[in-house]
Amino acid sequence: MTTIAILAAGAMGSAIAARLTEHGARVLTTLEGRSPATRARAVAAGMEDADDAAVAHADLILSIVPPADAADLARRLAPALTAAMRKPVYVDCNAVNVETVREIAALIAPTGAAFLDAAIIGPPPKSGAAGPHLHVSGDAPEAMLPLRDLGLDIRTMTGGIGAASALKMSYAGINKGLTALAALMVLAADRAGAGPALLAELAEKEPELLARFGRVLPDMVPKAYRWVAEMGEIAGFLGDDAAGRQVFAGAADLFARLASDGGADEIAALRAFATASGASLRR
């Protein structure tokens, strides 16, 4: 039986764990200090609670945490990885930029564990659906290929550490950047009294875009707090491109505003637009 540690049991981590356990893998996680909701997700996914020493003896460790927590997790596990006689492969699957993932690789290197860079693109897997793509780069990305037999869509990449993270940053920049742009302009139109007219124009001239906005705007709301750090990572990925950094710093500010206690009115406006978009497209 393949033993895989997934930290942590969030929406994506627990869904990937469920897919793996359905196919016969043993999946470990760490639940100390986690919320009742997280514990419930872990139990439902068939995950087993384990300490850091047990995690370090898994075959693979998949780090699936908010971007701001990725380096801290590597630091936390480093002593246990160093002490482990049989080293696992440590796979960073987080939405971090190339510089950050290389810093994380440097934290793992002294432990003797192999390190891979991975990008998860797509929503969490669901029963009956194919699930996200897991793009993997590094010195030996084929170490992840056995997970294909456990229900995951593994796609190896050339380019070494940083290639998968570059793909993730580029894809997320387009995908989530478009959501940020839509939210900004919908809110601006609403403030100026042009919301209904914008809706009508999109329904007539850009129905596919309007259908997309109707889905992604309400879906973004509960995730906005997590997207703040990701926008910062994308800004860092853009390096010397000052205009690009400014775009994604602004997106980070938007998501932080929506996630704050003062964002309720804007969230209501976005949800109203999404609801109206569905009605408009059905006419």
DSSP per-residue string spanning 104-156: HHHHHGGGT-EEEEEEEESSPP-TTS---EEEEEES-GGGGGGGGGGT-EEEE
Q: Tell me the residue type at 212.
A: R
Nearest alpha-carbon partner for 19 in 147, 140, 125, 153: 125
Rounded Cα distance between 45 and 42, Å, is: 5
Distance CA 235, CA 212 (A): 24
Q: For position 113, what pLDDT does the model report?
A: 97
Residues 6+ apart with CB under 8 A from 108: 74, 78, 81, 90, 115
What Cα–Cα distance (Å) separates residue 114 from each residue in 60, 89, 105, 176, 182?
10, 5, 9, 31, 41
The whole-angstrom separation of Cα 22 and Cα 127 is 10
> What does the pLDDT read at residue 240?
95
- Fold exhibited by the domain 3-159: Rossmann fold (3.40.50)
Instruction: Give per-10-residue mean pLDDT for the chain (283 aa).
Output: 90 95 96 92 96 96 95 98 96 96 98 98 88 94 94 95 97 97 98 97 96 96 94 96 97 97 95 92 78
Residue 114, judged by CB atoms within 10 A of its CB (0-12, 13-18, 19+), counts as middle
* Contact (CB, 8 A) for 3 and 26: yes
Q: Is the peptide bond before 74 cis (omega within 30 degrees of 0)?
A: no
| C-alpha to C-alpha distance for 65 and 9, rounded to whole angstroms | 9
C-alpha 62/C-alpha 282 separation (Å) is: 42
Q: Which residues in the chain belong to E strands, given as ranges?
A: 3-7, 26-29, 48-49, 60-63, 89-92, 114-121, 133-138, 153-156
3-state secondary structure of 61: strand
Domain ranges of the chain: 3-159, 166-282
Check: CB of residue 100 under 8 Å from CB of residue 74: no
Contacts of 65 (CB under 8 A, 6+ apart): 7, 8, 10, 13, 73, 94
State how far the alpha carbon of 102 is from the alpha carbons of 62, 64, 153, 160, 161, in Å. 16, 16, 24, 10, 7
